[in-house]
Amino acid sequence: MEQSCTPELAEMRPAIRRFVTERLEPVALKIDATGEVPAAAREELHSQGYLGMRLPEALGGGGFDLSTYCLVVEEVARSHRIFTLMMDASSGLTPIAIARHGTPEQQQRYVPRLADGSWLASFGLTEPDAGSDAAALRTRAERREGGWVINGFKHYISGAHRADVVMVMALTDPAKRARGGITAFLVDKGTPGMSIDRTDKTIGSDPIQLSDIRFDGCFVPDDAVLGEVGQGFPIAMGSLVSGRMGVSAACIGTADRLLETAVDYAKTRTTFGQPLSDRQAIQWMLADSATELALARSLMYDTLRRIDAGEDPGTAPSMVKLYCSEMVGRVADRAVQILGGAGLIRGVPVERFYRDVRHYRVGEGSSEVQRMLIARALLK
């Protein structure tokens, strides 16, 4: 379905596919075997310029538009989800927010290091009572001479245990909350008063972990404020469009790999003297997956064209994220069913993809939140 993206992007796809197959896939197999992410992962992505793609060239980034970034994410997602998370850590919400809203000093301190992957960033918003309802957060930041003291607790923060800097959202005016009462702070690893309480493995691959962060009298100077005091909520929300499109691209790439694997297996596996591909039940599962994948690609790249052209996409990014994240779950389920026992064994990519894709219906706004946003716009 190359017609889903522009001819220029379509020309890039074969070279990216070769890189993913020849260079990333061996690393992915090592990750599956050890549960650890080797230094080679960052080195390989950095060698191709796939880290910091969305950051300004003047600050060490690639300066690429969202469509190009999503094409690369789509292809990289065919190998292992950890690679797309590494791309996001160097070119996602926190790095983009610093590049857009940071002071020159903040930009020079953080962006080049994030762009080349030598530093990792995390986004500290979610709390036990503030996930989908982000404005309900309780973490407080109170002004002191020369800075702010942060107290509170963050929950399920992706990659925080490895992060060199966390963008922390905290209440600075509880009466205003999302309407000017939330501020973004850049808190470096090792800052006294900030600690990782615990880190949990998830339903997905071992390296994909979520951490709890505790702030207990954590003092940060005034120059840790990102943007203006009270503007943290719009800063965070302003990066959600690109985040949702990146997740959608990862869903599409994963679904493409799963469908390809299922087709190959159906052609070679024989039951009762016939290949699986002769069975109508199998054919229909493959046909459904191919149709849904084609629709997802068309919807995503049409929305990307509008975004890169400067148009207001409205709720289209929510529609894309909703459809793609649920589509890849169905494709993964069919792939496991087609592979049978072979789809249940640890070490087989299909089994790992099946677990990893469950994240997509929760992160970057759950399916229920996307439906709420779409319906709200329709009923306005």
Of residues 130 and 345, more confidence is placed in 345
Q: What structural domains and CATH numbers belong to the chain?
A: 2-115 (1.10.540.10), 121-230 (2.40.110.10), 237-379 (1.20.140.10)
Burial of 100 (0-12, 13-18, 19+ CB in 10 A): middle
Pairing of strands 165-171, 121-124: parallel
Confidence band (pLDDT; 50, 70, 90) for 236?
A: confident
How large is the greatest C-alpha to C-alpha distance in the chain, in angstroms? 80
Q: Give the per-residue pLDDT at 60.
A: 96
Q: Does pLDDT of 3 surpass 60?
A: no
* 352, 345 Cβ separation under 8 angstroms: no
Q: How far apart are CA 189 and CA 66, in angstroms?
A: 29
Spatial CB neighbours of 210, under 8 Å, sequence gap ≥ 6: 156, 157, 158, 160, 199, 200, 202
- Weakest mean pLDDT among 45-54, 238-247, 269-278: 238-247
Kindly report the average pLDDT of the chain as a whole number. 94
Written in H, E and C, the secondary structure of 106-152 is: HHHHHHHHHHCCCCCEEEECCECCECCCHHHCCCEEEEECCEEEEEE
pLDDT tens-digit readout, 155-212: 999 999 999 999 999 999 999 998 999 999 999 999 999 999 999 999 999 999 999 9
Confidence band (pLDDT; 50, 70, 90) for 372?
A: very high
Q: What are phi and psi of 250, to 5 degrees?
A: -65, -40
Q: Give the per-residue pLDDT at 1.
A: 46
- Weakest mean pLDDT among 7-11, 132-136, 147-151, 325-329: 132-136
Q: What is the Rg, in whole angstroms, of the alpha carbon atoms belonging to the chain?
A: 21
Average pLDDT, integer, range 266-278? 95
Q: Give the per-residue pLDDT at 130.
A: 83
Average pLDDT, integer, range 20-33? 95
* Residue positions annotated with a catalytic role: 364
Q: Does pLDDT of 134 surpass 80?
A: no
Q: Which of 340, 338, 219 is nearest to 267 (CA)?
A: 338
For residue 318, CA distances in Å to 74, 81, 91, 246 come to 18, 21, 20, 12
Confidence band (pLDDT; 50, 70, 90) for 146?
A: very high
Q: How far apart are CA 310 and CA 158, in angstroms?
A: 30
* 75, 148 Cβ separation under 8 angstroms: no
Q: Does pLDDT of 148 surpass 50?
A: yes
Q: Which of 251, 263, 265, 256 is nearest to 341 (CA)?
A: 265
Pairing of strands 209-221, 194-201: antiparallel
Q: Give the per-residue pLDDT at 238.
A: 80
DSSP 3-state of 155: strand
Of residues 7 and 261, more confidence is placed in 261
Q: How far apart are CA 375 and CA 371, in angstroms?
A: 6
Spatial CB neighbours of 169, under 8 Å, sequence gap ≥ 6: 124, 125, 134, 137, 139, 182, 183, 184, 185, 232, 233, 236
Spatial CB neighbours of 233, under 8 Å, sequence gap ≥ 6: 134, 135, 169, 177, 178, 182
Q: Does pLDDT of 366 surpass 70?
A: yes
pLDDT tens-digit readout, 199-215: 999 999 999 999 999 99
Helix H or strand E segment including 186? strand 182-188
Q: Does pLDDT of 123 surpass 80?
A: yes
